[in-house]
Structure 1
Amino acid sequence: MKKVLLSLLPVLWLGIVKPAVAQVYTASDPLAHTYSIVARDPQTGDFAVAVQSHWFSVGTSVSWAEAGVGAVATQSFTNKSFGPRGLALLKSGKSAQEALDELLRTDEGRDVRQVAIVDNQGRVATHTGAKCIDMAGHRQGSQFSVQANMMLNNTVPAAMQKAYEQNAKLPFAERVVSALQAAQAAGGDIRGRQSAALLVVRAKATDAPWTDRLIDLRVDDAAEPLRELSRLLSLHRAYEHMNAGDLAVEKNDVPGAIREYEAAEKLFPQNLEMKYWHAISLANKQQVPAALKLLAPIFKQDPNWRTLTQRLPKVGLLTVTDAELKQILALK
């Protein structure tokens, strides 16, 4: 009997066992007490939702967005269904406020929910339940909303709003992350920090939906998740240049490829692959001496790159002469 009572304690604490009352939240709901931002880029129309929390893998619970539709953040005692259901309501033609009203109307746990929605016209709607744990609150601005609960200080939402508004010259994703950084600087989650996520989708859906998620980064468990999220975003930018360089190679635009690979290297100079393809592009542009300077330390650090180089002429990715190939492979 004692074991039964003990096992019921967390359930009773969550308010589940109530005679003749429908379930409000379940023990499996993630307790994503946190801070987040939803936004629509006024320049491109792209949507973003970003979050940090002292909860494992917060991005799998809080962050929801769909190209051409909008973005949703659902947190506090999280009702994960608000993400897909909110997007479906927006897709049906409802405004952000109408979608939020419908979600809350059918939810008996509305007092412990915190939800923010931005729609494809940039309209925002936010709800902070009366029983969200202090410090809790939200602030709205032009085409964005910031929201937080269980914060150390009540200054977090205002700090997030100020950072987002003052960093309008940054690229959209970096601007969104700046709001999270401001929240942490203002005290952040009273429990500390564990995970973070950033999701950015296109303003309009395309015929290639696999390209509609522009950025999808998650830090599921880290001592400093925002620092790691920022590092991953920088790495993402570097690989955007790498992808552009690869596309230039496909189009036989070697000068364009070199420019893109150089831009990638500046962002992530310790990455051997970025240096390698830059070198190969130089070799294909009849700049073998310059390519040799880049390849020598690469081969020394990891001889597998030398082996890969041997295989490139067969598929047309390295177009040097036989003598130049021997010179490259002979590097010490």
Structure 2
Amino acid sequence: MRNFLLSCLTLLLLFHRSAAAQMYSTADPFAHTFSIVARDPATGEMAVAVQSHWFSVGTSVSWGEAGVGMVATQSFTNKSFGPRGLALLKSGKSAQQALDELLLNDEGRDVRQVAILDNQGRVATHTGKKCVDMAGHQQGNQFSVQANMMLNATVWPAMAKAYEQNARLPLAERVLAALDAAQAAGGDIRGRQSAALLVVRGTATEGPWADRLVDLRVEDHAAPLVELRRLLRLQRAYDHMNAGDLAVEKNDMPTAINEYQAAEKMFPQNLEMKYWHAITLANKQQVPAALALLRPIFKQEPNWRVLTQRLPKVGLLTVTDAELKQILAL
């Protein structure tokens, strides 16, 4: 009896694989997941965010380009929908026209879930009739939420509600609020593993290096959304550091100090933020203030003192010999 049941199970698996082979490429992952694509009407920024019980979901589901749009391709994922969808948008097609063209000759359309957002905020969404329950999507003002293989059918409505209720937040934090709501409503029936967040400018500038405002991924984690939010907060802190450096270049020390302090307040255990703040103060002839910051840093990690010795050679520390000696004596 046991052998008979095993044989039946094997035949069923073979049938499933044979049928499914007509729907997807073996190179594409089964990214059953929940995601959001959205545009901020005030800034023009566009975002796509996703969480799944699948390794490195961001490398499969989320695609975007400044001044063009965003794509989320999931369920039995067709990765080509990302770059192809963006190319169609770039050619002048609307989100709906791009989606229609992608699905037209796709034999696996019934198992696909796809959302496209164009640079005007228009959205188009497709949930195939053979996506694994619970599956569905909901559109709103310049956004779409979509999910499949969820624990229940409240997930995507919860996402839409959270996104709409957090309009005061920056776009990155706003789409994360939608993901948090999805998880709180039950999320992926299999659990959690990875997440990703991509935010681009509404208008292209000199290149992707300047146009990708946020590009963060959590590849494998017990609580990927918690980690993703931590990474976003860390990026915000480093944004303050960069703003402080810019203020120093403009000789605006009050602004520089405020920016550095804002960064350090967000991550008080980060020695590097405090260190470069101190070096900047020393370079601006505020050595006593620099000494106060450097003393606990050197005590906690002596290698920062070694690094300090090397900075004058490359012009990153421009104090007098006497001041340098005072710094290294801490």
TM-score relative to the length of structure 1: 0.92
User: Would the alpha carbon gap of residues 82 and 11 (structure 1) be closer, same or farther in structure 2, given more than 3 Å must change?
Assistant: farther
Cα deviations by residue, 1:16-53 (Å, 9 ceiling, x for unpaired): 478xxxx3212332110000000111111111000000
In the alignment, which residue of structure 1 is the partner of 2:15?
12
**Could you tell me how far apart the structure 2 residues matched to 1:283 and 1:313 are?**
12
Is the Cα contact below 8 Å between 2:75 and 2:131 reproduced in 1? yes
Partner SS for 2:107: coil
Cα deviations by residue, 1:153-186 (Å, 9 ceiling, x for unpaired): 1100110001101111111100011000000000
Q: Are residues 1:137 and 2:136 paired?
A: yes
Which amino acid in 2 is paired with 1:156?
A: V
In the alignment, which residue of structure 2 is the partner of 1:109?
108
Number of residue pairs the alignment of both structures matches: 323
Which amino acid in 1 is paired with 2:283?
A: N
In the TM superposition, residue 245 of structure 1 has moved relative to its aligned partner by: 2.2
Q: Are residues 1:221 and 2:204 paired?
A: no
**Could you tell me how far apart the structure 2 residues matched to 1:7 and 1:283 are?**
72
Q: Gapped runs of 5+ residues in structure 2? A: 1-7
Is the Cα contact below 8 Å between 2:36 and 2:144 reproduced in 1? yes
User: Would the alpha carbon gap of residues 318 and 17 (structure 1) be closer, same or farther in structure 2, given more than 3 Å must change?
Assistant: closer
Partner SS for 2:35: strand
User: Identity rate of aligned residues, in percent?
Assistant: 80
**Could you tell me how far apart the structure 2 residues matched to 1:141 and 1:201 are?**
20
Cα deviations by residue, 1:167-224 (Å, 9 ceiling, x for unpaired): 1111110001100000000000000000000011111111233211111100000000
Partner SS for 1:309: helix
User: Would the alpha carbon gap of residues 178 and 48 (structure 1) be closer, same or farther in structure 2, given more than 3 Å must change?
Assistant: same
User: Would the alpha carbon gap of residues 55 and 17 (structure 1) be closer, same or farther in structure 2, given more than 3 Å must change?
Assistant: closer
Q: CA RMSD in A?
A: 1.9
The more displaced of 306-315 and 124-133 is 306-315
In the alignment, which residue of structure 1 is the partner of 2:172?
173
In the TM superposition, residue 230 of structure 1 has moved relative to its aligned partner by: 0.3
User: Would the alpha carbon gap of residues 330 and 71 (structure 1) be closer, same or farther in structure 2, given more than 3 Å must change?
Assistant: same
In the TM superposition, residue 314 of structure 1 has moved relative to its aligned partner by: 3.3
TM-score relative to the length of structure 2: 0.93
Partner SS for 2:204: coil
In the alignment, which residue of structure 1 is the partner of 2:3?
none
Which amino acid in 2 is paired with 1:13?
A: H
**Could you tell me how far apart the structure 1 residues matched to 2:92 and 2:10 are?**
44
Q: Gapped runs of 5+ residues in structure 1? A: none
Partner SS for 2:129: coil
Is the Cα contact below 8 Å between 2:23 and 2:111 reproduced in 1? no
In the alignment, which residue of structure 2 is the partner of 1:314?
313
Partner SS for 1:205: coil
In the TM superposition, residue 11 of structure 1 has moved relative to its aligned partner by: 5.8
